[in-house]
Amino acid sequence: MRIHIWHGYLLSGTGSNEYTRALARTLTAQGHDVTVFCQDSDPNLNVVRPQLPGPLPVFVLDAYADAQPALIGDLSQQDLDAFVEANAAAIRAAGPADLLITNHVLLGGPVGAASGLPFIVKAHGSELEYAMRGNPALCDWAARSLSGCLQVVAGSEHIAGVVKQLVGFDQISVIPPGVDTEDMRPRDDALSGLLAECEADPPNAGNPRLPDPDNAQRLAEFFDRPVVAYVGKLSREKGVPLLVEVLRELGQRAVIVGFGPTRLELEPIAGPDILFTGPLQHRHLRYLWPLCDVSVVPSVFPEAFGMVAAEAASCGCPPLVADHSGLAEIAAGLRQFYPAELADLAAFSSRDELVDRLPQVMAMRDVLSPCARQAAEQLWSWDSVGRRITDLAQGLL
């Protein structure tokens, strides 16, 4: 198939960015002719970068090197329409395709509708919770845009329910995001690999979207006792302040990976046992997770799925996730493979449970690690995700 994938943002650093890159690479490897439309580049993909006519509509404000971001809810309809048309025009200029996959109900729905191509919309969750919820005008626009799409793909039953609730659209297929289980795996050379990747990082003159410049030096002697991992946006919605508070209470060593507004607040009070690295890429994480004893996903805001938990599991690092939204579906998957007496160690529902279960997961790492890996192999792999999406599309075209 000739497949166009539209994603208005970058190809690394957030869940939807990583999803887009991984899906595009998977479909290309499966023999499809794939073009990606985004505001980034990738040497392994055919990428088209649409010229922006104004601000870049976003769900959470972050710094972009070559764009001026603005919250979708703060932009005029004129600005939003101009963005949609510029991206749809770039898609039309690239020529016909059998299928267009657009990311995010907004603005993927309007871009798909304006493209003239048969399209599927991948709902990610951030647009639903951060932009559309509580904004009837945006929900109505999304509903009108989705009326012509073949199907909405949701990563979890939770996100499918939110789409139905906010938009009233029920032509939804649940296909979870995928894990590269070959790249994300347990490793004997994890520490040397991690240090080599850190030493290969580009110079960082204060850019929060790049890894910290001294990571290799600081990490070299950090794993002499059990370590907790957190990977994700550094924000209150992601539960990072809660996690840091619990880590300090337990006196537990941890690596906090990511960028975001709470780093400046939390790092000065975290203490020497909590190491902030800035954002790391998959080339780092494939070595970091095998070194860690548990990977905590403490979000207090609904999550579409919990990709970082599935990737940690694939590396043999047992995840401990907040037991709600799409994260609960990760926990349910893990429980299928955990010993019955340890099934509760997949998730927590309160601060007290996090305090209680975090040390238990770490103590049982050797038992839980192969079980987590098995869950990732059998439930979440990119090859199966790519085939399920193309099989779905071919059945609808």
pLDDT at 97: 98
Pairing mode of beta strands 228-231, 172-174: unpaired
Helix orientation angle between 136-146 and 157-167, rounded to the nearest 10 degrees: 100
Q: Are 254 and 228 in contact (CB under 8 A)?
A: yes
pLDDT at 168: 96
CB-based burial, 115-154: b 16+ in 10 Å, e otherwise: bebbbbbbbbbbbbbbbbeeeeebbebbeebbeebbbbbb
Q: How many Å separate Cα 229 from the centre of its chain?
A: 16
Task: Report how far residue 386's alpha carbon sits from residue 178's, in angstroms, rounded to the nearest whole number.
Answer: 8
Task: Report how far residue 127's alpha carbon sits from residue 145's, in angstroms, rounded to the nearest whole number.
Answer: 14
Task: Report how far residue 198's alpha carbon sits from residue 216's, in angstroms, rounded to the nearest whole number.
Answer: 5
Task: Report how far residue 99's alpha carbon sits from residue 263's, in angstroms, rounded to the nearest whole number.
Answer: 40
Task: Report how far residue 376's alpha carbon sits from residue 334's, in angstroms, rounded to the nearest whole number.
Answer: 8
DSSP SS3 for 138: helix
Residues sharing a CB contact under 8 Å with residue 196, sequence separation 6 or more, in sequence order: none
Q: Are 59 and 131 in contact (CB under 8 A)?
A: yes
Domains of the chain: residue spans and CATH:
2-178+382-396 (3.40.50.2000), 190-379 (3.40.50.2000)
Successive 10-residue mean pLDDT values, the chain, 397 residues:
97 89 96 97 97 95 87 97 98 98 98 98 94 97 96 94 96 93 96 98 91 97 96 96 98 97 96 97 97 98 89 98 94 98 98 98 98 95 93 96
Pairing mode of beta strands 46-48, 254-257: unpaired
- Output phi, psi for 38, to 5 deg: -160, -175
Residue with tokens 């659209």: 169
* pTM of the full structure: 0.75
User: Which pair of tokens denotes residue 272?
Assistant: 């020497």
pLDDT at 307: 87
